[in-house]
């Protein structure tokens, strides 16, 4: 799964993701299921590569 596909899946579940330095910030936390948290964790480097950093 590409980073864009992952971001699309997260958005469909109502989750917004942004990069802050070397961290990913996902909100709202109540929308994050165990599976979505794992997806983010497993693909952190890929997501950081495509998201603008603040």
Domain boundaries, the chain: 3-50
The predicted structure's pLDDT at residue 7: 98
**Tally of residues, the chain:** 54
What tens digit of pLDDT does each residue of 1-54 get? 999 999 999 999 999 999 999 999 999 999 999 999 999 999 999 999 999 987
Whose CA is closest to 35, among 52, 12, 53, 19? 12
The predicted structure's pLDDT at residue 23: 97
User: By the 8 A CB rule, do 36 and 15 touch?
Assistant: yes
The predicted structure's pLDDT at residue 54: 76
The predicted structure's pLDDT at residue 22: 94
Question: pTM of this prediction?
Answer: 0.90
Mark residue 24 as left, alpha or beta (left: phi above 0; alpha: psi -120 to 50; beta: remaining): beta
The predicted structure's pLDDT at residue 53: 83
d(CA 12, CA 21): 25
Residue that is written with structure tokens 């469909």 in the block: 12
């Amino acid at each position: 799964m590409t980073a864009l596909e992952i971001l699309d899946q997260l958005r469909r579940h109502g989750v917004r993701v942004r990069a802050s330095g070397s961290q990913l910030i996902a909100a709202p936390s109540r929308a994050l299921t165990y599976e979505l948290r794992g997806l983010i964790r497993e693909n952190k480097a890929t997501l950081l590569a495509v998201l603008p950093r603040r």
